[in-house]
Each structure stands twice: as C-alpha cells, then as structure tokens.
Amino acid sequence: MVDLLHKSITDSILKVYYEVYNELGSGFLEKVYQNAMYFELIARGYKVEAQKQIKVYFKQQLVGEYVADLLVENKVINLRLANYL
C-alpha cells in the first residue's frame, strides 16, 4: 500500500472522484468531471478553486506557471492523473 501525502483529504477526494465517475460514467470531457468534483467537494465543505494558476520556482527562480485543475484546501489535484486510478 502506498503512503499518501495528506491522507485524510486524499481519501475524501478519491471518494468524491469515484462517486462522480460512478454516477456520470465514462466518455465525457475532463471538464465535465472537473465541474462535478468541484460542486461535490464544495457541498462537502471543502475550500475549492478551479483552474488555479500557480507560479513554479526552481532554486528561487521563477521558471514557469502551472494551471491546477482543482485546488482543494490549497492542495493541487490533477484530473489527468486520476485517469490512471
């Protein structure tokens, strides 16, 4: 078993992911799943931001920007990675 960083919030997010997927099924664009997760996580009382732009630093130098699919309690969620679960 893998030790997950931020296990309690990760477990909750994964439960929402599977609930959304089981209800909607497969075949929709990523944005549909993102929207469903966004609304469900908010309904469960989480602080959620969608398409949050984040500055990326390497050795204290700004090297680019990243757009997170969802930010839940200031933690990044990349829905493309969820496709591998």
Residue spans of the domains in the chain: they are: 7-82
Q: How far, in Å, CA of 80 to CA of 23, rounded?
A: 19
The burial class, CB within 10 Å (0-12 / 13-18 / 19+), for 59 is: exposed
Whole-structure pTM value: 0.79
Residue 75 three-state SS = strand
Residue 34 has pLDDT above 50, yes or no: yes
Do 68 and 78 meet the contact criterion of CB atoms below 8 Å apart? yes
pLDDT digits (tens, 9 = 90+) for 10-22: 888 889 999 999 9
